Structure 1
Amino acid sequence: MAAILACLLLTALAPLPARAAGTVAVDVGHGLWDSGAISARGATEFDFNLNLARVLRPVLEARGLTVRPVNFDGEIESLQARVDAAAGSDFLLSIHHDSVASFKLTAWNWMGEDLDFADEDRGFALFISHRNPRLEESLACASAMGRALRARGFVPATHHGTTAAGTPRPWADEENGVRFYDTLFVISHGAMPSVLFEAGVLKHRDEELALRDRSRQQAMAQGLAEGLAVCLGEPLKAEGQLPGPRN
């Protein structure tokens, strides 16, 4: 936590990079109809997603980006409606928090409520899809965000190598925590570059508490905003050939 606070102080003192121009659709994952994962202490993923999105919005705007809020009221009921709401934006960032496979969970009682936890896996992840028509830009922005997050002390997750069904999710940029996840609807069905961000693992008891911390949310928002400002202000080019899609 001390390292994160130090990063926040340095961020506040450092000049902002060149201002980017463009519109970022910030999609709050899940909603009132489907609250997503349940944390180790019984909070819903949607609440975590919304809290981080609310912190992120003014930070993006301070970087010169226009924010198009998607599902901040939790009322969107379909994945297609999310894509439609983001149409016309220059970039789509979908905000999520992660769970783990059920076999990793251990039962416990928190404040009189029977819940479960898993203290093994933690860390952030960024997902892109081969099915997105602007894959190279999606990867460039995902890598820029991951790089900026790592510079602030955040650590990429390592446990996303396969889906629950055993389908591989290969690395797109291992150093910066970016993986391919081709079947995620929101990042594969829009016309704009798109990334789904998993901020951390809600089932991990220590990480859940860290994800609730407003100063940490602010540091994470600064990293995401810096990466997007760099990427959209001076579009990055992915080096080398992108790996082919996995079925």
Structure 2
Amino acid sequence: MTEASNYLIAIDDGHGLAPLTPGKRTPFIQSIGRFIPENEFNKAVAAYLIKELKRNGFNTVETAPTDFDTPLSTRVNTANKARADLFISIHYNAFDGTFEGRNPEGFSAHIDPSGGKSEKFAKIALGHLTKGTVQKNRGVVKQQLYVTAYTKMPAVLFELGFMDHSREALLMIDKSFQQECARELAMAVCEYYGVTYKTEKETPYVIQPSGKQTKVGEAIMLRDVQTYARPEFGTQVPIVIKKGAKRNIYEIENGWYRLYGGEYIPSSYGKNFTFIATKKEQAIKNEGSIRRVLVNGKQVGAFKEEDSILRAISDALKDSPQKIEVEEK
């Protein structure tokens, strides 16, 4: 029987936070009000992966243990001197650095053109990554990269998504996605070495009802919708509401709709679900004020419904406006 303790896995989180490698961050994301550095994702996945591997009995060595952007030669030398058996580098891809157009998406495994054992591990890992969050599998890419060319052991550099793809960019700060990627790579390591993967014991996830419990409407899902513990991205919980399902809504805040259990679902400008307000809530809205949306000083619409306002703002952002205002009429 293969013993995991016989193997040393080198874990490499690509780039660094200090100084930030030029271009290694998302475009500015309006919904969270900031950029996401690539290493913020890489470092988190690497940490989760190390935890997964150690739980399964493997030994690990970090090639870039600090926030500094460690030179590639140092990363490779660390792995070679430690006589690691496998080298895994965690990255997030980019195309043109903007959210404009139909940017590519998906994950890929990059290896030295010589293939061999690196290619074998890469294919196993891609098989596990395909089973997780729905993404395009871009396959194995053979190219001359420093960390795969100069390591003395099988080495694979993984690009786990695209920073300039609007959906995949937000996955970078989603802890459940970070953990999922780490878990799938750990499963691949176990399969590669013939070790039985040990599943971590999980405690049941229970959401406690909170806040006002007066129904304000009903949401009908237009597609599968992820739920969140708080009204902000990066707080996903393991509950997905299926397309066509209906849920009662008890509170609305900045495009986030609270369910009975206290969890939230994002409207995404009306793309995730159709919201039907109760008669009482509709009457309150009809009595409420109208807000107008101005783009570069020119009114583009006047609305009472929050979703309509958010949709107008979303449409305006596509044209790179200088100024967007929402005013009470």
- Assess same fold via TM > 0.5: yes
Which residue of structure 1 lines up, in the alignment, with residue 117 of structure 2? 137
Which ranges in structure 1 are unaligned for 5 or more consecutive residues? Answer: 1-17, 107-116, 159-176, 235-247
The equivalent position to 2:177 in structure 1, one of 204, 216, 230, is 216
2:19 matches 1:33 = yes
How far off is 1:66 after superposition? 1.1
Equivalent residues of 1:128, 1:187 under 8 A apart: yes
Per-residue CA distance 1:4-45 (angstroms, 9 max, x = gap)? xxxxxxxxxxxxxx7634111001111123435111331211
For normalisation by structure 1, the TM-score amounts to: 0.68
Other structure's SS at 1:212 match: coil
Q: How does 1:154-173 map to 2 (within 5 A)?
A: 154-158=134-138
Q: Measure, in 1, the Cα distance between the counterparts of 2:79 and 2:132.
A: 29
Matched residue type, 1:139: E
Retained in 2: the 8 A contact 1:119–1:203? no
1:186 and 2:147 are equivalent in the alignment: yes
CA separation in 1, counterparts of 2:85 and 2:20? 27
Q: Given residue 92 of structure 1, which amino acid in structure 2 is its aligned partner?
A: F
Of 81, 84, 89, 2:84 maps to 89
1:211, 1:157 → 2: CA distance? 17
From the CA coordinates, give the structure whose radius of gyration is larger.
Answer: 2
Q: How far apart in 2 are the matches of 1:144 and 1:127? A: 13
Q: How do 1:41-190 and structure 2 match up within 5 A?
A: 41=29, 42-75=35-68, 77-87=70-80, 88-101=83-96, 105-106=98-99, 119-130=102-113, 135-158=115-138, 177-181=139-143, 183-190=144-151
Percent of residue pairs identical: 27
For structure 2, the 5+ residue unaligned runs are 30-34, 196-329
**How far apart, in 2, do the equivalents of 1:157 and 1:71 lie?**
27
What one-letter code is carried by the residue in structure 2 that aligns with 1:124?
F
- Partner letter of residue 217 of structure 1? Q
Which one has a larger percent helix, Structure 1 or Structure 2? 1
Q: Which has the higher mean CA deviation after the structures are superposed, 144-153 or 193-202? A: 144-153
Q: Which amino acid aligns with 1:188?
A: A
Report deviation, 1:211.
2.5
CA contact (8 A) 1:19 1:63 kept: no
| Distance (Å, rounded) in 1 between the aligned partners of 2:45 and 2:134 | 15
TM-score by length of 2: 0.52
For CA contacts below 8 A with separation 6 or more, give which structure has more relative contact order. 1
The answer to which structure has the higher strand fraction is: 2
- What is the match of residue 238 of structure 1? none
Count of equivalent residues: 184
Q: Offset of 1:94 from its aligned partner?
A: 0.7
Residues 86/76 of structure 1: CA separation in 2 closer, same or farther (3 Å cut)? farther
Matched, 1:206 2:146: no
Partner secondary structure for residue 151 of structure 1: coil
